[in-house]
Amino acid sequence: MSAQEPSTIPAACCTLDISGAEQDRLVMMFKALGNPHRFEIIKFLVTHPGCITGDIVHFLPIAQATVSQHLKVLREAGWITGVIEGPATCYGLNEENIAWFRNKVGEIF
């Protein structure tokens, strides 16, 4: 581009009509998935709903305490739910929050 040509800004391809608490929620969900172990946990829960921490520990090559920490992050971000059944917690995907996430990402991109 020469010094005399005006610069042009391409037309927007998407909308970024999100802010405040909704944006914070979306960012938190993205961040939670940004860790490879947490992503593997989500993948595992897709095919193994209702599993307990021990099932995930056997699946991943990390310590039980580390798995528990990752589960906490995923729960706080809204990706999973945990239901206490006796001495164990059964984990599954939080379908309502995942639907919200899909909708928001679809609106933005």
CATH architecture of 20-108: Orthogonal Bundle (1.10)
pTM of this prediction? Answer: 0.83
Q: How confident is the model at residue 85 (pLDDT cuts 50, 70, 90)?
A: confident
Question: Residue 56 CB: number of other CB atoms within 10 A?
Answer: 22
Q: Extract long-range pairs of 49-53: CB within 8 Å, 24+ residues apart.
A: 49/92, 49/93, 50/90, 50/91, 50/92, 51/90, 51/91, 52/88, 52/89, 52/90, 52/91, 53/88, 53/89, 53/91
Q: How confident is the model at residue 49 (pLDDT cuts 50, 70, 90)?
A: very high
Phi and psi dihedrals of 92, rounded to 5? -155, 170
> For position 107, what pLDDT does the model report?
86
Show me where the domains of the chain are located.
Answer: 20-108
